[in-house]
Amino acid sequence: MAKVIIEGISPLRGQLGQELAVGDWFEVTQRRIDEFAEATGDFQWIHVDVERARKESAYGTTVAHGFLTLSLLPRLLLEAIEMRGVRMGVNYGLNRVRFTGPVPAGARVRARFVLAALEDISGGVQLTWTVSVEREGEHKPVLVAEWLTRRYFQEA
């Protein structure tokens, strides 16, 4: 998919409730899962023990941590949408998150971004995204979230 280019904040005001972008597919490798486990200390066998997961897991393989999938949102957004005319963007939080399906090692995921709300704040705007992360070949999303980000205007 082609990256969506947004020139400043003004065009977003007319996009409320609309899907702005669908990102490209991104592979969640076992290496990434292992590195996430190392970074977070979450070594649950369903994530890192390939042999045991092959034998004992209902999925027949290891699966990504739900929080790994969630932590991919900034990357998936940046690959799908380029906002020009802002000096900085920050994560502000989440109102709702659900891990609705597994992401087996080697699976590819992508995100769909719907702009649910836009609120003016000092120096910028707060954006509320309804995000669904889907796994290639599956109809049901693996993650759904209401994600808040802030974008601050460039200095004049």
List pLDDT tens digits, range 15-28: 999 999 999 999 99
pLDDT of residue 58: 94
Classified as helix, coil or strand, 66 is helix
Tokens read off for 79: 């690959």
Average pLDDT for 65-70: 98
How far, in Å, CA of 109 to CA of 127, rounded?
Answer: 23
Nearest Cα neighbor of 145 from 132, 126, 128, 127 is 132
The CATH number linked to 26 is 3.10.129.10
Least confident of 7-16, 44-53, 68-77: 7-16
Least confident of 2-16, 60-74, 136-150: 2-16
In the predicted structure, residue 154 carries a pLDDT above the cut 90: no
pLDDT of residue 155: 65
Q: Could you tell me the residue range of the domain that residue 68 belongs to?
A: 4-153
Contact 138, 126 (CB under 8 A): no
Q: What is the mean pLDDT of the chain?
A: 95
State the total domains in the chain. 1
pLDDT of residue 2: 82
Average pLDDT for 38-67: 97
Q: Which residues contact 113 (CB under 8 A, 6 or more apart)?
A: 19, 20, 21, 22, 23, 77, 80, 81, 129, 130, 131
Percentage of residues in the chain with pLDDT exceeding 70? Answer: 99
